[in-house]
């Protein structure tokens, strides 16, 4: 099976090379970096590492992902951030799990193995509120609704419609995956961020909460 990887970036020159190198250890992987207005050497480094770099000037986490996912040619897709916080060394075993256990979508759970160094109390509380809200509204038992690392079958993604262009994309794709296919979560050890976070904690948290209520009211999923 062919593997594709999609990595959204904004100013990740210090980490993008290491992330790509980690994915290269899987063998022949199609790596697509979707960059939104970086002002550093992110695009240059990604190209030097052999990635296909797509410049996406329109802002939005979901927008970047959808732009990249429209270009994939693989049967299995790996999605993760370019900031080095997600471990690339678990991707191979997770792909094997996806294939041999006949799973459609694996989401990486940062909560189960979290520490105070790699996941702050504020983020934990915010994530818990969002995750419990999604659980109540959509009758799911998620542990980490906001995780940004997933491995899934491309055919499943192509069945999804009307996904968010913003930060809500992360929870949105999980809700749709649960609705459409076989979904599991697997605990991972989340790394310590060395670059400035792109999230606006309060703004993005309330925006995600509002989005999920609107999605439920509109009868989506």
Write the CATH number for 106.
Answer: 3.90.550.10
pLDDT of res. 202: 56
Predicted pLDDT at 217: 77
pLDDT value for 206: 74
Task: Report residue 66 as tokens.
Answer: 């959808």
- Measured between alpha carbons, how far is 184 from 198 in angstroms, rounded to an integer? 27
Task: Report phi then psi at 8, rounded to 5.
Answer: -80, 140
How many separate domains does the chain show?
1
- pLDDT of amino acid 200: 61
pLDDT score for 193: 72
What are the Cα distances from residue 61, in Å, to 10, 122, 158? 10, 21, 18
Question: Can you read off the two tokens belonging to residue 80?
Answer: 């993760």
Q: Which domain holds residue 164?
A: 3-217
pLDDT score, position 14? 97
Nearest partner of 189 among 103, 101, 89, 96, judged by Cα? 89
Burial class (CB in 10 A: 0-12, 13-18, 19+), 184: middle
| Integer Rg of the chain from CA | 16
HSE-up of residue 160 (Cα within 13 Å, Cβ side): 25
Partners of residue 153 on adjacent β-strands = 76
pLDDT tens for the chain, residues 1 to 221: 999 999 999 999 999 999 999 999 999 999 999 999 999 999 999 999 999 999 999 999 999 999 999 999 999 999 999 999 999 999 999 999 999 999 999 999 999 998 867 777 787 888 889 999 998 988 889 999 999 999 999 999 999 999 999 999 999 999 999 999 999 999 999 988 776 666 566 567 778 887 887 888 787 65
| Strand positions, DSSP E, the chain | 3-9, 29-35, 52-55, 76-79, 105-109, 150-153, 183-187
Give the C-alpha separation, 156 to 164, whole Å.
Answer: 17
């Amino acid at each position: 099976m062919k593997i594709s990887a999609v990595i959204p970036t904004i100013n990740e020159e210090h980490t993008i090379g290491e992330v790509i190198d980690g994915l290269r250890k899987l063998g022949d992987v199609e790596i697509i970096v979707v960059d939104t207005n970086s002002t550093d050497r992110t695009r240059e480094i990604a190209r030097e590492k052999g990635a296909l770099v797509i410049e996406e000037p329109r802002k939005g986490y979901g927008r970047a992902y959808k732009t990249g996912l429209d270009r994939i040619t693989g049967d299995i897709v790996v999605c993760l951030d370019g900031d080095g916080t997600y471990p690339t060394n678990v991707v191979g075993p997770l792909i094997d799990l996806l294939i041999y256990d006949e799973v459609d979508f694996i989401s990486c759970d940062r909560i189960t193995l979290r520490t105070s160094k790699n996941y702050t109390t504020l983020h934990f509380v915010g994530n818990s509120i969002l995750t419990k809200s999604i659980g109540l509204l959509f009758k799911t038992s998620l542990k980490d609704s906001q995780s940004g690392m997933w491995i899934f079958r491309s055919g499943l993604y192509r069945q999804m419609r009307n996904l968010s262009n913003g930060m809500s994309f992360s929870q949105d794709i999980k809700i749709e995956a649960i609705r459409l296919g076989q979904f599991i979560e697997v605990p991972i050890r989340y790394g310590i961020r060395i670059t400035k976070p792109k999230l606006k904690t309060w703004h993005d948290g309330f925006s995600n909460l509002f989005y999920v209520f609107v999605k439920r009211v509109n009868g989506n999923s």
